[in-house]
């Protein structure tokens, strides 16, 4: 297990130096008394609770004040809101390229509405960034 991002086309990308230096080896005791060894820079709540089930688990925060809480993501990998949108845009474009419809499962809201996988237009991006900055 690694916290380095997985490239959709090239397998695992090499860890950037800032993540690599944070990678640690954790020896986790399972309920049956055996041990599991995990190398990650992202142990999640495991560090707080010591519970194996909390490996990689994150608590999310609200969006209020998000423009004043950089850096972003659990591993501080995005310095700006623009970088956040860039990362999500790259992920969604890669997903569609690798799993073109009908292979890509639909996104369905809780009321059954199918949500379009369209990408953000330049205008959408400006509006979304303005919205985040108003929160």
Average pLDDT, the chain: 77
Helix, strand, or coil (residue 18): helix
* Mean per-residue pLDDT, 102-109: 73
Q: Which of 8-12, 36-40, 50-54, 86-90 has the lowest mean pLDDT?
A: 8-12
Helix %, strand %, coil % of the chain (to 5): 35, 20, 50
Query: Is the pLDDT assigned to residue 85 strictly greater than 90?
Result: yes
Confidence of residue 68 (pLDDT cuts 50, 70, 90): very high
CB 74 within 8 A of CB 42: yes
Residues 6+ apart with CB under 8 A from 29: 35, 52
Residue 49, Ramachandran bin (φ over 0: left; ψ between -120 and 50: alpha; else beta): alpha
The pTM for the full model equals 0.50
């Amino acid at each position: 297990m690694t916290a380095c991002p997985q490239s959709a086309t090239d397998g695992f990308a090499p860890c950037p130096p800032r993540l690599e230096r944070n990678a640690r080896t954790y020896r986790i005791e399972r309920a049956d008394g055996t041990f599991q060894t995990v190398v990650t820079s992202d142990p999640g709540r495991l560090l707080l609770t010591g519970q194996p089930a909390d490996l990689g688990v994150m608590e999310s925060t609200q969006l209020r004040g998000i423009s004043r809480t950089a850096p972003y993501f659990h591993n501080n990998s995005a310095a700006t809101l623009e970088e956040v949108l860039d990362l999500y845009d790259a992920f969604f474009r890669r997903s569609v390229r690798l799993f073109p419809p009908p292979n890509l499962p639909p996104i369905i809201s809780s009321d059954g509405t199918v949500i379009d996988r369209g990408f953000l237009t330049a205008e959408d991006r400006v509006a979304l960034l303005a919205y985040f900055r108003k929160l």
